């Protein structure tokens, strides 16, 4: 049976790849991460001694077992568990008795990348005078829970850590209440949302009942209701009530991918064709493969 590196838990920072030679792992700088080796009996670990450290774990402490639900079961099934650390990029591999490599794991040490995100509900105008405002979004709004979810996706896989900026609602007179929400191609909406950003945050996410992302020349923007859209250049996203489980993180990916290594806007970042967070043609997921993780946390490259 073929040896192969496997993730310990979903969204845990291990990219299993498509075969035994193209797996990868994100290791937070100054810390470590866990990975299973499947069918690895009798194989010898080899690593770059300049940058990679490792420890094989044969039994979990009670404290570890409580934190890593399911890991004990993995060990009992014959998998080998390794704790990988390091000071820089390198390769961790396992070899057979002849020295032939049976499985490889690319190790990428990622520095912490703190990001502040503001979460703001849009209050839209209910009259022509712009004196009466009401929230567009009818969905439950729990900023702390949203923050926990985004960090559960981003931190293990990229070492990006979000903190909360402003969470108070904002009145946008340019958006009519009956419209349901903003449109990407409406210049008045774009200008108003840009102005309404939390200036102390890296990114502001606006919440509405609906958001629209039509083609640039559309004369019927209301036919293009979407889960969300991102204006990375102006530092904001808009998400709808009917969004999917990972819509917010998907839109954050558009924003993070558009930044250069200094955190400045470079160019818009599009969708992927892989089985990952940036592909809109598959069921919503939070998977960030190593290739994308290096684009989102450019300080690691």
Question: Which of 110, 126, 155 is the endpoint of a domain?
Answer: 110
The CATH code of the domain that includes 70 is 2.60.40
Residue 50 has pLDDT above 80, yes or no: yes
Domain match, 143 and 257 both: yes
User: Which of the 8 DSSP states describes residue 269?
Assistant: -
Domain match, 117 and 106 both: no
pLDDT digits (tens, 9 = 90+) for 173-194: 999 999 999 999 999 999 999 9
pLDDT of residue 70: 59
Structure-block tokens of residue 148: 């926990």
pLDDT of residue 73: 60
pLDDT of residue 12: 96
Domain match, 285 and 146 both: yes
Q: Label residue 66 by pLDDT band (50, 70, 90).
A: low
pLDDT of residue 92: 98
The CATH code of the domain that includes 164 is 3.40.390.10
Q: Label residue 145 by pLDDT band (50, 70, 90).
A: very high
Q: Label residue 38 by pLDDT band (50, 70, 90).
A: very high
pLDDT digits (tens, 9 = 90+) for 254-301: 999 999 999 999 999 999 999 999 999 998 899 999 999 999 998 655
pLDDT of residue 131: 77
Comparing CA positions, the residue from 118, 214, 136, 138 lying closest to residue 176 is 136
What is the Cα–Cα distance from 119 to 80, expressed in whole angstroms? 42
Q: Label residue 63 by pLDDT band (50, 70, 90).
A: low
Report how many domains make up the chain: 2
Three-state DSSP class for 239? strand
Domain match, 183 and 257 both: yes
Three-state DSSP class for 146? helix
Comparing CA positions, the residue from 173, 167, 221 lying closest to residue 195 is 173
Handedness of CA 250, 252, 254, 259 (dihedral sign): negative
Question: Which of 80, 110, 140 is the endpoint of a domain?
Answer: 110
For the chain, what is the mean pLDDT?
A: 93
Please count the other Cβ atoms lying within 10 Å of the Cβ belonging to residue 101. 15
Domain match, 62 and 105 both: yes
Domain match, 166 and 102 both: no
pTM of the model: 0.93
Residue with tokens 């009519």: 176
pLDDT of residue 59: 80
Domain match, 82 and 122 both: no
Question: Percent of the chain beyond pLDDT 90?
Answer: 85
List 177's β-bridge partners, or say none. none
Where do runs of H (alpha helix) occur along 164-260?
A: 187-195, 247-257
pLDDT of residue 204: 98
- Region of poorest pLDDT, from 74-78, 83-87, 98-102, 225-229: 74-78
Q: How far is CA 138 from the centre of its chain?
A: 25
CB 137 within 8 A of CB 208: yes
Domain match, 255 and 187 both: yes
Distinct helix (H) and strand (E) counts, the chain: 6, 18
Question: Which of 64, 95, 110 is the endpoint of a domain?
Answer: 110
Mean pLDDT value of segment 96-116: 96
Domain match, 16 and 127 both: no
Please count the other Cβ atoms lying within 10 Å of the Cβ belonging to residue 161. 15
Comparing CA positions, the residue from 19, 59, 52 lying closest to residue 33 is 52
What is the Cα–Cα distance from 18 to 216, expressed in whole angstroms? 38
What is the Cα–Cα distance from 83 to 174, expressed in whole angstroms? 53
Residue with tokens 């291990």: 14
Range of the domain at 275: 113-300
Sequence-separated (6 or more) residues with CB below 8 Å from residue 206: 120, 121, 122, 170, 182, 193, 196, 236, 237, 238, 239
pLDDT of residue 67: 58
Domain match, 94 and 179 both: no
Domain match, 151 and 277 both: yes
- Region of poorest pLDDT, from 65-74, 159-168, 211-220, 286-295: 65-74
Give one word for 263, left, alpha or beta, with left for phi > 0 and alpha for psi -120 to 50.
left
CB 283 within 8 A of CB 275: no
List 236's β-bridge partners, or say none. 204, 231
Domain match, 75 and 106 both: yes
| Residue 18 burial (C-beta neighbours within 10 Å; 0-12, 13-18, 19+) | exposed
């Amino acid at each position: 049976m073929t040896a192969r590196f496997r993730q310990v838990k979903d969204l845990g920072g291990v990219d299993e790849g498509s075969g035994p030679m193209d797996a990868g792992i994100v290791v937070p700088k100054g810390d470590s991460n866990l990975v299973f080796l499947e069918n690895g009996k009798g194989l010898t670990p080899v690593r770059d001694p300049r940058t990679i450290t490792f420890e094989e774990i044969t039994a979990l402490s009670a404290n570890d077992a409580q934190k890593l639900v399911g890991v004990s079961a993995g060990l009992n099934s014959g998998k080998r568990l390794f704790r990988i650390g390091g000071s820089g990029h390198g390769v961790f591999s396992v070899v057979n008795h002849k020295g032939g490599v049976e499985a490889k794991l690319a190790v990428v040490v990622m520095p912490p990348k703190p990001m502040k995100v503001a979460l703001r509900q849009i209050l839209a105008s209910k009259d022509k005078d712009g004196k009466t405002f009401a929230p567009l979004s009818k969905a439950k709004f729990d900023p702390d829970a949203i923050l926990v979810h985004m960090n559960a996706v981003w931190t293990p896989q990229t070492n990006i850590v979000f903190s909360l900026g402003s969470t108070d609602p904002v009145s946008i007179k340019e958006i009519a209440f009956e419209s349901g929400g903003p449109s990407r191609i409406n210049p008045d909406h774009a200008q108003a949302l840009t102005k309404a950003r939390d200036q102390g945050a890296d990114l502001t996410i606006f919440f509405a009942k609906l958001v629209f992302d039509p083609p640039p020349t559309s004369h019927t923007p209301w036919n293009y209701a979407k889960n969300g859209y991102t204006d990375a250049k102006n530092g904001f996203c808009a998400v709808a009530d009917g969004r999917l489980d990972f819509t917010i993180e998907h839109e954050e990916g558009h924003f993070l991918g558009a930044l250069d290594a200094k955190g400045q806007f470079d160019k818009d970042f599009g969708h992927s064709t892989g089985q990952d967070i940036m592909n809109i043609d598959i069921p919503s997921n939070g998977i960030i493969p190593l290739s994308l993780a290096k684009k989102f946390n450019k300080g690691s490259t």
